[in-house]
Amino acid sequence: MKHLTKEQRYAISLYLKEKRSQKEIAEAIGVSKSTVCREIKRNSGKRGYSFSRAQEWADLRKERLRQSRKMNGEVRHRIEKLMREEDWSPEQIVGWCKAKGYRMVSKSSIYAYIRRDRECGGDLYTHCRFKLKHRKRAVGKYMPIRNRAGIEERPAEADGSASGTGRWTWWWTWWWEPAARAPWSRWWRGRHRTR
């Protein structure tokens, strides 16, 4: 992934002052229009886009995400130790590691690791609170509905075009059920009292 340079950010700020379009700016600095749009949206404040502020924020983001967030041996060992010995959930592991300043991946990566371990015959999933039973379907896979009937197989009554009492159900409900008539009755009585 290619990041914008200081020179490109400076050029964006100059072109914006000249009231050029994002498409023209993108062509001038040699990046896509979506990159320019995202840069302007991400780094604009109340006074518009500022080159110095944009570069400062980009450096802060780069510094914050500099640490490796990959699943390496150290991270795996910490996950397995905390799950097996402490019976912690992935959310607790991520929060604790963040508070202590340890390197850790996201909770979704931990759940993916637990699922892979389970598929390979591991028992790490038994230390989860729900033992991964709360998932009714496979994660990230398209699963069609079994024995699904198409819309062309729908009965004629469902269209509303078939003759019958279905269209008149609301009338009978209103006429025979006092609770359904109550708001109308109150309005009608109130209307006659004001005259």
Same domain, 81 and 56: no
Distance CA 24, CA 12 (A): 10
Question: What are the CA-CA distances from residue 90 to residues 74, 116, 120, 124, 168 (Å)?
Answer: 16, 15, 19, 12, 55
Is residue 10 domain-shared with residue 56, that is, in the same domain?
A: yes
Q: Which of 20, 46, 64 is the last residue of a domain?
A: 64
54/85 same-domain check: no
Residue 20 lies in a domain: yes
**Which structural domain, as residue segments, surrounds residue 83?**
73-127
Which stretch of DSSP H or E encloses residue 44? strand 44-45
Chunked in runs of 10, what are the mean pLDDT values of the chain (195 residues)?
Answer: 84 92 92 91 86 87 70 88 90 90 86 89 85 60 74 72 57 61 62 54
Q: What is the mean pLDDT of the chain?
A: 79
Q: Is the pTM of this model over 0.85?
A: no
Please say whether the beta carbons of 105 and 69 come within 8 A: yes
